């Protein structure tokens, strides 16, 4: 029975160290997972930025194509009017050409606006991903520190518990005769040779 009583504090100390080590390893694993998530968010931000650039480029190409189609329509109207011996530089013939030009300009502006909105959406996504990456990087940096602090607290808590068990578990309880002799400290073993 005395052997079990003597082994209990040692086993408790080992358990405390294992628990603290597990907490530290858990913090490191949490930090690694957060680092991975931060990299995923950075990659997503980069993809969103690329998509914004592609949207702008595609919009510019569509806008140019719409401008060419508009010029073609204006030319077709002018040619048709001229084929019917209508003065293309005055009156309703000129108004018809102006209307085609305005319609083409409106189409180009709509395409440009849609491309800008799409690019803005992608850039907003990129900003969100970058914010998430920053949060994940902070978590990755702080997780091991938090785990180490928690493990240290656990070790101190376990140590104070073991000290209480040691002094009150029968190992350091002085008998009434040695306590009065003045050669021992309360709660400690007698001083050898006294």
Residue that has been written with the tokens 């997503």 in this structure: 44
- At residue 116, the pLDDT reads 95
Interacting residues of 5 by C-beta distance below 8 A, sequence separation 6+: 169, 170, 171
Structure tokens at 132: 């998430």
pTM of the model as a whole: 0.59
Domain borders along the chain are: 2-170
Walk along the chain (194 residues) in steps of 10 and give the mean pLDDT of each run. 54 64 76 86 94 95 94 92 89 91 94 95 94 88 78 69 53 45 49 53
């Amino acid at each position: 029975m005395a052997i079990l009583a003597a082994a209990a504090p040692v086993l408790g100390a080992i358990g405390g160290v294992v628990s603290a080590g597990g907490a530290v390893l858990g913090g490191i694993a949490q930090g690694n997972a957060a680092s991975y998530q931060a990299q995923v968010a950075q990659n997503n931000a980069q993809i969103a930025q690329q998509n914004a650039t592609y949207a702008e480029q595609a919009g510019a190409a569509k806008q140019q194509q719409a401008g060419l189609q508009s010029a073609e329509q204006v030319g077709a109207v002018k040619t048709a009017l001229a084929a019917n011996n209508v003065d293309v530089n005055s009156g309703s013939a000129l108004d018809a050409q102006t209307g085609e030009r305005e319609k083409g300009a409106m189409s180009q502006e709509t395409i440009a606006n849609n491309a800008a909105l799409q690019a803005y959406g992608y850039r907003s996504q990129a900003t969100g991903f970058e914010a998430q990456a920053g949060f994940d990087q902070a978590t990755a940096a702080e997780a091991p520190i938090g785990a180490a602090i928690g493990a240290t607290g656990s070790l101190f808590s376990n140590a104070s518990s073991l000290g209480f068990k040691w002094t009150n578990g029968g190992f350091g309880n002085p008998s009434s005769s040695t306590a009065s002799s003045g050669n021992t400290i309360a709660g400690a073993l007698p001083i050898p040779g006294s």
